[in-house]
Structure 1
Amino acid sequence: MPTVREQATITSKGQITLPKPIRQALGVDAGGKVDFELREDGQVVVTRVDAEHEDPAIGAFLDLLARDIEAGRHVRNLPEDLARAMLEQAGRGANLDEEIDGEVAL
């Protein structure tokens, strides 16, 4: 991974916003989790927290499909909702405030 250097300002509540290049490099977005490690020399290392249930093979497969879809190489007969869900799982955040299309069974 190339070196990315960014600065963030700490708010009065002790919060920071991770700069976009850092979020992109870590592959996190709204709702994503990061881990902070404070080392003895004062360095802080920030890493993405992966879901415990994530299977590396499935993640790699979804990443491959996401790259194909983004490049316009759509898999034939792949339902639109499945393609959208796969892209969300490949690191694209879902908008939880967005209206739900269609019927929802509770």
Structure 2
Amino acid sequence: MTTKHYTCPACHEENRYKTFVTDRVELERAQGEAIRVTCKHCHESRTIHPNDVFAKPSLLPPVIVAIVVAIPLIILFRLGWIVFSVALIGAPFAVWAAQQQAATRFNGYRIRERQ
């Protein structure tokens, strides 16, 4: 679940764009070639192209996984199952790496603009 953003054409401020699509092709299918957006800073209503939307990794999923893994980690460590507790430490890092990969995949493909 990466967060999607766009830069306002009027005031050049970054705004969040709420969508659950995983790539720009899906975004174009869902919203069309001209996406109507309203800036939260200058309140201008404009259209942007799906290529103007970019993804950033979200920190929420790794933090949630770290919190969920913390209690079993402590319990397993106290029981002496150090190998399993060490394996649990890697879970938040694996989720963070997946977030980075999803953002890179979304930003790596651009749609050809039609004339």
Higher Cα Rg, which structure: 2
Q: TM-score, normalised to structure 1's length?
A: 0.27
Task: Considering fraction of residues, name the structure with more strand.
Answer: 2
Higher helix share: 2
Instruction: Please give the TM-score of this superposition, normalised by the length of structure 2.
Output: 0.25
- Highest relative contact order (Cα 8 Å, sep 6+), 1 or 2? 2
